[in-house]
Structure 1
Amino acid sequence: MHIPGPDPQDDGGASAVAAAGGLHRYQLRLHEVYGPVVRFQLPGAATAVSVADPVLLEATAHLDERPGELFAFLDPLCEAGNLQVLPADEHTPWRRLLLSVLAGRPAHERHFAHFTGAARELADRWAGRAGGEPVELQQELTALSLRMICGFALGGADADTDVGRVAAAFEEVLTEHLGRLYQVPRADPRSAERAEEALAYLRATVDRVVAAHRPAGRTDRSDLIGALVEAGESPARIRDTVMVTLLAAHHTTGVAVSWTLHLLGRHPEAADRVAAELDRVLGDRAVPDYGDLRRLTYLDMVLKESMRLFPPGPYGARTTSEDLVVGPYEIPAGATVFYPFWAVHLNPEHWPEPERFDPERFTPERVARRARYAYVPFGIGSRGCEGAALATVEARAVLAVFLKRLRFDAAPGRAVTPVERFVLWARDGIHMTVRARDGHPREPAP
């Protein structure tokens, strides 16, 4: 059967993506008009097919190759080969190594006090300005996430790292190279030069930390650099891995927490329920232990519902090596298959009233009745996000620290508009007022 989609455009689809406000919104519109499987144009992809039905996605889960052109914007961060498009024989052992660190409970437990300590410092600062000017969550929380992942990925050797400058440098590089991918006209003639300067700073920073790292005798698999050295990875591959890990982790966790607090500010009954659960589980303690996370079941449901409505990474992509049958359609070899996470998460066939915030969607009973790939915030298959477990632990820890002490309310007169910026970002920020919870005055850090 012919795959439906819009008529071809001379510019390869760039203007259609721009007019929609980004690829994520463009995919939403395409699926609303043409159904669960859509053919469309995109710069960097000769034939692109987007699949928004979770049942049909199962036929694509085995795909193990990513389209190099669409991930070329990450090339500057990688000198030993773009880690997002490594061939399977290189990717499989590299992924296994990363999962042994990023997905392992020992690593999470070892670094958990660092996560909660960093969150508590920010909560102290916000509590001290309660009743004052609203805070802008995204910038604050991506910086917090970067501090946390620096401690994790760099083995704690981040004392001299200027976190704010590192975050700004990442944004400089990504903005420049994503702009090239989507053919966005440069507003600043020095943007390319500034991106090169930012990249040089990032490489020098990671090199300094790697050089200061003393791996001799280390066998601790919760230490990312130590594990990479022990595995015999080259210095360039170690640096590339650290760079990409910092990039992915600081965006994902900070954005996920920002959207969750935004949604709780709009749904005070859910915020009340989270607060009651935290009081019940933590008692008088200001921060959770690692073991408390499994008892914070409603908080976990809230986070999952937030990432359903606002998945930090709005889409993924694979390349077909041979003709592929998906339902009644045949996707040709060499095509780019898109996983439009946002469209999948808003598919009304699998999510009744899809735009409504309802954490109860994630009770064990309802999860068991749902299609396997109806909820895919971290992707699917062998190219799914290696840091999914770590990002989830970080986000739950940060939310627990914040919501035990603080209440977040939407700042009046501030619109929140999602846009594509490597992750699903709020265009003008997420501004919220912060106040101490009733009966929970400011608690200074020890």
Structure 2
Amino acid sequence: MRIPGPGHQEDGGLGAVAAAGGLHRYQLHLHDTYGPVVRFQLPGAEAAVSVCDPVLLEATAHLDKRPEGLFSFLDPLCEAGNLQVLPADEHTPWRRLLLSVLAGRPTHERHFARFTEQARHLADRWTRQADADGEPVELQQELTALSLRMICGFALGGADTEAGTDVDRVVTAFEDVLTEYLGRLYQVPRADPHSAERAEAALAYLRATVDRVVAAHRSSGRTDRGDLIGALVEAGESPARTRDTVMMTLLAAHHTTGVAVSWTLHLLGRHPAVADRVAAELDRVLGERAAPAYGDLRRLTYLDKVLKESMRLFPPGPYGARETTEDLALGPYEIPAGTTVFYPFWAVHLNPDHWPEPERFDPERFTPQQTAGRPRLAYVPFGIGPRSCEGAALATVEAQLVLAVLLKRLRFSPAPGHEVTPVERFVLWARDGIRMRVRPRDAAGPTTMTNRSP
């Protein structure tokens, strides 16, 4: 059976992606028009099939190859081979090493106090700002910087501080690099004639920064496997692969957690009744304490539902992709070897067959009963299979902690006149930021907003 989809386009699909407002929105249009399995053209791939049916996705969950063309924009970040497209024999041991550091509860607990201190510092600063001038804060910029500080300490064992890393400059450098190389992938005309030079300078700065941090770590004589560099050094990874891994980890981790918390606060600002329930749970679990202990996170069950529902509506990574290495049966369709299988996570999360009124914000979708009634892959914020995100457990701990610290003390509401528009920027980013008013909870007073839309 032939897979449905749009007709051939001479520009390889670039015009259709641009007209839709980005690849994330183009996927919604394709699946609304053609159904759960769609054949389409995609820059960087000769042939692509997009699947938004979680039952059919099960047939692809074993795939362990990423299409090189789609991830070529990350080539400049790596010198020992693009880590996103490593062959399975290299990727599997590398992934196992990352999971040993990023996914373990003992290492999470070890760094939890420092994470808490960093989150409380941000809450202190926003409280002072609210008291002083009441100007809105820009969540994405602030929270991605906070996430980067967290992952620097976790991955690098504190060597970032010893090496004098300017975290804000690192965040800006990553943005310059991604803007340039994603623009090349999608052939976006340059608005700034100096963007290429700025991106090259930013990349050189990032490499020099990581080299300095790695050198500081090595000179300290630490061999602690509780941080990423220590684990890489002990495993005998080359200096180039060590730097590549650190670069990719910093890039992925600070974006994922920062935008997840930003979108969650955006939604809570628009749904004050849900924010009230979160605040009540925090008061009940924490009492007078300003921050949770590690063991408290599992007791914050409603906060966990809110975070999950936020990542359903605004998955930090809006899509993923694999490549078939042999013919694959996908329901009534035959997918030939060499095909890019596209995972439109946003479309999966908005599939009305499994999410009634899919654009409505409702944390109760994640009760145990509701979750048990859905296919396993109906909710995939961190991807699926052997190439799913190695940092998922760490990102969840960080996000829950930051939300708990901020929401215990502060109330968030939309900045008047500010429109929040999701766009594709490696992650699901807000085009003009997420600006919100912040007030201390004890001064917030009653709220009346009842807008139910995201």
| Same fold? TM cut 0.5 | yes
Q: Which residue of structure 1 lines up, in the alignment, with residue 49 of structure 2?
A: 49
Pairing 1:433–2:437 present: yes
My pick for the range that moved more, 122-131 or 399-408, is 122-131
Q: Which residue of structure 1 lines up, in the alignment, with residue 176 of structure 2?
A: 172
Pairing 1:400–2:404 present: yes
> How do 1:32-431 residues align onto structure 2 when only pairs under 5 Å count?
32-130=32-130, 132-159=134-161, 160-214=164-218, 218=222, 220-431=224-435
My pick for the range that moved more, 188-197 or 383-392, is 188-197
Distance 2:433 2:172 in 1: 16
Task: Please say if residues 223 and 233 of structure 2, whose CA atoms lie closer than 8 Å, have aligned partners that are also in contact.
Answer: no
My pick for the range that moved more, 213-222 or 382-391, is 213-222
Shift of 1:220: 3.5
Instruction: Please tell me the residue identity of whatever aligns with 1:430.
Output: I
Residues 277 and 89 of structure 1, relative CA distance in 2, 3 Å threshold: same
Distance 1:226 1:143 in 2: 23
Distance 1:215 1:277 in 2: 46
Distance 1:217 1:360 in 2: 49
Distance 2:66 2:219 in 1: 33
Greater than 6 Å deviation, 4+ residue runs: none
- Classify the secondary structure of the residue corresponding to 1:373: helix
Distance 1:265 1:440 in 2: 12
Shift of 1:261: 0.2
Distance 2:147 2:416 in 1: 26
Task: Please say if residues 215 and 226 of structure 1, whose CA atoms lie closer than 8 Å, have aligned partners that are also in contact.
Answer: no
Q: Which residue of structure 1 lines up, in the alignment, with residue 449 of structure 2?
A: none
Distance 1:215 1:411 in 2: 47
Shift of 1:344: 0.1
Distance 1:111 1:326 in 2: 43
Task: Please say if residues 75 and 82 of structure 1, whose CA atoms lie closer than 8 Å, have aligned partners that are also in contact.
Answer: yes
Instruction: Please tell me the residue identity of whatever aligns with 2:351.
Output: N
Shift of 1:328: 0.8
Distance 2:374 2:221 in 1: 47
Distance 2:57 2:308 in 1: 20
Task: Please say if residues 225 and 234 of structure 2, whose CA atoms lie closer than 8 Å, have aligned partners that are also in contact.
Answer: no
Task: Please say if residues 259 and 306 of structure 1, whose CA atoms lie closer than 8 Å, have aligned partners that are also in contact.
Answer: yes
Distance 2:346 2:82 in 1: 25
Task: Please say if residues 324 and 337 of structure 2, whose CA atoms lie closer than 8 Å, have aligned partners that are also in contact.
Answer: yes
Residues 64-111 of structure 1 deviation map (CA, whole Å, 9 limit, x = unaligned):
000001100111110000000000000000000000000001111111
Distance 1:355 1:21 in 2: 18
Instruction: Please tell me the residue identity of whatever aligns with 2:138.
Output: E
Task: Please say if residues 256 and 317 of structure 2, whose CA atoms lie closer than 8 Å, have aligned partners that are also in contact.
Answer: yes
- Classify the secondary structure of the residue corresponding to 1:311: coil
Shift of 1:221: 2.9
Instruction: Please tell me the residue identity of whatever aligns with 1:13.
Output: G
Residues 357-397 of structure 1 deviation map (CA, whole Å, 9 limit, x = unaligned):
11011111211111000000000000000000000000000
- Given the two structures, how large is their TM-score scaled by the length of structure 2? 0.95
Shift of 1:215: 7.6
Task: Please say if residues 3 and 329 of structure 1, whose CA atoms lie closer than 8 Å, have aligned partners that are also in contact.
Answer: yes
Shift of 1:330: 1.1
Provide structure 1 residue ranges, at least 5 long, that are not aligned to the other structure.
442-446
Shift of 1:214: 3.5
Shift of 1:440: 9.4
Task: Please say if residues 65 and 87 of structure 2, whose CA atoms lie closer than 8 Å, have aligned partners that are also in contact.
Answer: yes
Shift of 1:129: 1.7
Residues 148-200 of structure 1 deviation map (CA, whole Å, 9 limit, x = unaligned):
11111111112211011101110111111100100111122221111111111
My pick for the range that moved more, 3-12 or 129-138, is 129-138
Task: Please say if residues 215 and 229 of structure 1, whose CA atoms lie closer than 8 Å, have aligned partners that are also in contact.
Answer: no
- Classify the secondary structure of the residue corresponding to 1:158: helix
Instruction: Please tell me the residue identity of whatever aligns with 1:305.
Output: E
Shift of 1:116: 1.3
Instruction: Please tell me the residue identity of whatever aligns with 1:47.
Output: A
Task: Please say if residues 107 and 221 of structure 1, whose CA atoms lie closer than 8 Å, have aligned partners that are also in contact.
Answer: no
- Classify the secondary structure of the residue corresponding to 1:10: coil
Distance 2:230 2:224 in 1: 7
How much identity, in percent, do the aligned residues show? Answer: 84
Distance 2:147 2:4 in 1: 41
Q: Which residue of structure 2 lines up, in the alignment, with residue 444 of structure 1?
A: none
Provide structure 2 residue ranges, at least 5 long, that are not aligned to the other structure.
446-454
Distance 2:190 2:271 in 1: 40
- Classify the secondary structure of the residue corresponding to 1:178: helix
Shift of 1:217: 6.8
- Given the two structures, how large is their TM-score scaled by the length of structure 1? 0.97
Task: Please say if residues 274 and 299 of structure 1, whose CA atoms lie closer than 8 Å, have aligned partners that are also in contact.
Answer: yes
Instruction: Please tell me the residue identity of whatever aligns with 2:121.
Output: E
Instruction: Please tell me the residue identity of whatever aligns with 1:250.
Output: H
